[in-house]
Amino acid sequence: MGRLAGRVALITGASQGIGAAIAARFAAEGAHVALCARRAEPLEARAAAIRASGGSVSQRAFDVADHAALADFVATTAAQHGRLDVLVNNAPSVTYSAIVDMTPESFRKDFEVNVNSAFVATREAFKVMLPAQRGSIINISSINGLLGLGNMSAYGAAKAALIHFTKCAAMEGARANVRVNAIAPGVINTPATVAGFAGPYADWGKKIASQVPMGRFGEAHEIAGVALFLASDDSAYVTATCISADGGKAAELVVPPP
């Protein structure tokens, strides 16, 4: 415990799922966590749970696609605490649609949230981290940014772009000891995943899980563990890296049995 003691970490999309798990883990490790998400009620509930556990937390509800609000949240958090040590760009937008049925607006939406918001938050974080000569930025990408999947072209392309943005940002931050890395989760048991594979889709979910080399979906706390490694000094020489946390799925060459 205490691997992030005294540090300030800002996490987007933190009301549930992976973002909430990262927030809880970072707070337990001693960080002050500044959280944002679109929905005020679940965000306030998440912050209350962290406070009840003895953690230090602040929060603000807004959509990260509002880039002015996002920039202000990053800058204000850093100013209030006199530092910003960790930024986690987690807030997602997922469009599920065949290309022939998709509008340009829907395609752009996934980029606005998954890529453009990460750029804006990183830009503002750099203004604090580069002069301070320290910092860790963690971008939550996806296995969809590494492998192609039908009906996920907008989300997959955006997450792939986020991985490459991670590498470019890492090059700009490296000499100032500001590290930028990405995590590419596979299918994780978040509330959205549970809802998506409920009812008539339950068997489909079980089939997908059975095709993961480890035979199951991941848990949000397992992604939080990877994020903690990247946020802490344990990864002091790690930058420009994308860590797959997918039970081995992205590494598997699938062939039919003999």
Map out the domains of the chain with their CATH numbers: 8-248 (3.40.50.720)
* 37 neighbors 13 (Cβ within 8 angstroms): yes
Query: Between the CA of residue 116 and those of 126, 168, 227, what are the distances in Å?
Result: 15, 14, 21
Give whole-number Cα distances, 185 to 2, 35, 54, 220, in Å.
25, 21, 29, 9
Instruction: Output the 3-class SS for 142-192.
Output: CHHHCCCCCCEHHHHHHHHHHHHHHHHHHHHHHHHCEEEEEEEECCECCHH
Tokens of 81: 């605490």
Whether 96 is catalytic is no
Write down the pLDDT at residue 1: 81
Tell me how far the alpha carbon of residue 107 is from its chain's centroid.
20
Percentage of the chain with pLDDT > 90? Answer: 95
- 9 phi, psi to nearest 5 deg: -125, 130
Backbone angles phi, psi at 36, to 5 degrees: -140, 155
- Low-confidence stretches of the chain (pLDDT < 50) are none
Strand order in the sheet with 32-37: 56-61, 32-37, 8-12, 86-89, 135-140, 178-185, 242-245
Give the pLDDT of residue 35. 98
Which residues fall within 8 angstroms of residue 95, CB to CB, at 6 or more apart?
A: 102, 106, 107, 109, 110, 152, 154, 155
pLDDT in tens, 168-178: 999 999 999 99
- For residue 85, the model assigns a pLDDT of 98
Select which of 96, 155, 201, 237 is catalytic.
155
pLDDT at 145: 98
CA neighbours closer than 13 Å in the CB half-sphere of residue 42: 12
Q: DSSP letters along the chain, please?
A: --TTTT-EEEEES-SSHHHHHHHHHHHHTT-EEEEEES-HHHHHHHHHHHHHTT-EEEEEE--TTSHHHHHHHHHHHHHHHT---EEEE-------B-GGG--HHHHHHHHIIIIIHHHHHHHHHHHHHHHHT-EEEEEE--GGGTS--TTBHHHHHHHHHHHHHHHHHHHHHGGGTEEEEEEEE-SB--HHHHHHTSGGGHHHHHHHHHTSTTSS-B-HHHHHHHHHHHHSGGGTT--S-EEEESTTGGG-------
